[in-house]
Amino acid sequence: GRRQIQQKMEEARRTRDLALERMEKAARRFKQEVIWGGSTQTAHILSLTMVELAEKLKEGSLSPESVLYSYMGKVKALEVTREVNCVVDFIHGCEDQLQKLKKQKEKGLLYGIPVSIKDHINCKGHVSSGGMVKFLGQVKEEDSVVVQVLKSQGAIPFVKTNIPQTMINYDCSNLIFGQTLNPLNHQKSPGGSSGGEGALIAGGGSILGIGSDVAGSIRLPSSFCGLCGLKPTGNRISTSPSACSDRTFVLAVAGMLGPMARDVDSLALCMKALLCEEMFRLDPTLPPLPFDEQVYTSSKPLRIGYYEGDGYFQPSPSMKRAVQQTRKLLQDAGHTLVPFAPPKIDYVVDELFTRGIFSDGAAHMVDCFKGDIVDPNLKSQYNTYRLPALVKKILAIILKPIVSVWTFQLSAKNLWDQHGAVEVYRTEFIAKWRKLRLDVILCPALGPAFNHGYAGKLFAATSYTNLYNVLNFPAGVVPVSTVTRADEEELKHYRGHYGDPWDQRLKEAVEGAVGLPVAVQCVALPWQEELCLRFMKEVETLAH
């Protein structure tokens, strides 16, 4: 059985390699068939921001072909994929999409923009593996709604990117396609679960990517790779039809799709393009809320709540400094900063989030591994999930609150109570927000990038991001600084809140990161993505 699994993995890798060869040949063929400006023209195209690129494509000074094949060439010829192993498939239909673009009467907002897509998001004619053998060979018959809308706006999805096995880990490794590396430092993880997106965009191989986020899976790779990323409110962007790997666990926590890019304006342009009549037509379960440009471009001073630590995991020195420096920049720019502390954060992480993401005690996820081999980076998590119920209960008593999920019993009543508890907490959180008359919140983003192998041992360190999945608030990250030698020196004295093995692991995870990016997180109330992005833009402008 193990040999059969390995044969399927090898076949998937061969298919991936053939797809990348096809992509390389397509890029080479284009350069041979047209009058090409060589490396100078490629460098010019790759140097443009997405907004600049969109403008040049729309006015006709650049062609969609030249842009697409420049990025194709970058993915292969300049060895982003060879160096960091981030692409798992070439979306060969992108060349047909190019021809269709020429026939469109109107140029959409993303006309000619190449877009990379996270592995589990369905693309017609391709597999959504979830990093698992059981899903290999299941070729999708239609594009997901988000891919259809991207195409209707003129975008060209051209590659699919790597993820961790099951996507319930914020590293980026699976036994089919291997470990993705951080392009800024190969000893570091790119984060996850949208780690392939993070690595590809940070390495210059894509200008816009679509990821997904259940515990920080857009925000963590954005933080680790020095990118901007937005987790919208659940159901602001369609997740239909669900990719196979979305069903590997039962959720009482909101998961959603969102954009990743090099700057905030790119995120805003993507959201503006997605929040259109076509998306609301294809998925009528969405609230028909178009992008509010007036909110995004507003210059009204903001009342900003902030916190430097959440009281659950002590921030690394660079995380704390990033918030402190950003707070001062915002104050000096005329905004009002108000101290804020998330209520009952231990309860949120140990009860609402952990039990919410594994509402069935992780039983369904364990079942998914039948006929598969567990990735080493996931083994510590997997081994705890599959323990007998009695052993889980005994260990939960000893180790509570770290593993309170182990005692959770699957029942309709428990799931009902879980949803009710989340609503009560959300009401309490919003009441505190309203009492302080806040517009937005500034808080840490987990970082800097972890050393390989630590993400699977520090699931609870996602407290800074998973809080806003529980609350279902829009949240984004923006890089504002880099790790200094002073940060690294201060890290030597890091003990954490409890001085326990998990705190020690966090210290080890972030060691050796001088020069790597450090981000902050920006948060708004539900359905206020435009305000969240406006705040992110303000932070980006002041920091850079």
Determine if residue 404 is labeled as part of a ligand binding site: no
Asked if residue 447 lies in contact with residue 491, where contact means CB atoms within 8 angstroms, the answer is no
pLDDT of 539 strictly over 50 = yes
Q: Is 34 left (phi over 0), alpha (psi -120 to 50) or beta?
A: beta
pLDDT of 341 strictly over 70 = yes
Determine if residue 149 is labeled as part of a ligand binding site: no
Which DSSP letter does residue 242 get? P
Lowest-confidence region among 2-6, 57-61, 275-279, 387-391? 387-391
pLDDT of 147 strictly over 80 = yes
Determine if residue 193 is labeled as part of a ligand binding site: yes
Beta carbons within 8 Å of 129's beta carbon, 6+ residues apart: 12, 88, 119, 120, 135, 136, 174, 176, 245
Mean pLDDT over the full length of the chain: 91
pLDDT of 443 strictly over 50 = yes
pLDDT band at residue 240 using 50, 70 and 90 as cut-offs: confident
Asked if residue 235 lies in contact with residue 273, where contact means CB atoms within 8 angstroms, the answer is no
User: Element (H or E) spanning 338, and its range?
Assistant: strand 336-339
Alpha carbons 77 and 443: distance in angstroms, whole number: 39
Share of the chain residues as helix, strand and coil, in percent rounded to the nearest 5? 50, 15, 40
Average pLDDT over residues 86-108: 92
Determine if residue 70 is labeled as part of a ligand binding site: no
DSSP H helical ranges for 50-179:
50-59, 64-76, 80-84, 94-103, 145-152
- Percent pLDDT > 90 in the chain is 76
Asked if residue 118 lies in contact with residue 259, where contact means CB atoms within 8 angstroms, the answer is no
Domains of the chain, start order: 2-291 (3.90.1300.10), 297-359+410-543 (3.90.1300.10)
Q: Parallel, antiparallel, or unpaired for β 87-90 and 178-179?
A: unpaired
pLDDT band at residue 250 using 50, 70 and 90 as cut-offs: very low
pLDDT of 277 strictly over 50 = yes
pLDDT band at residue 94 using 50, 70 and 90 as cut-offs: very high
Compare 438 and 371 and report the one with higher pLDDT: 438
Determine if residue 214 is labeled as part of a ligand binding site: yes
Average pLDDT over residues 287-301: 98
Three-state DSSP at 231 gives strand
Lowest-confidence region among 161-165, 268-272, 281-285, 404-408? 404-408
Asked if residue 129 lies in contact with residue 139, where contact means CB atoms within 8 angstroms, the answer is no
Active-site residue list: 118, 193, 217
- pLDDT recorded at residue 248: 44
Residue-wise pLDDT tens digits, 348-359? 998 899 888 877
Lowest-confidence region among 161-170, 226-235, 382-391, 445-454? 382-391
Alpha carbons 13 and 200: distance in angstroms, whole number: 18
Q: Residue type for 497, please?
A: H
Lowest-confidence region among 236-245, 292-301, 487-496, 521-530? 236-245
Determine if residue 137 is labeled as part of a ligand binding site: no
Burial class (CB in 10 A: 0-12, 13-18, 19+), 5: middle
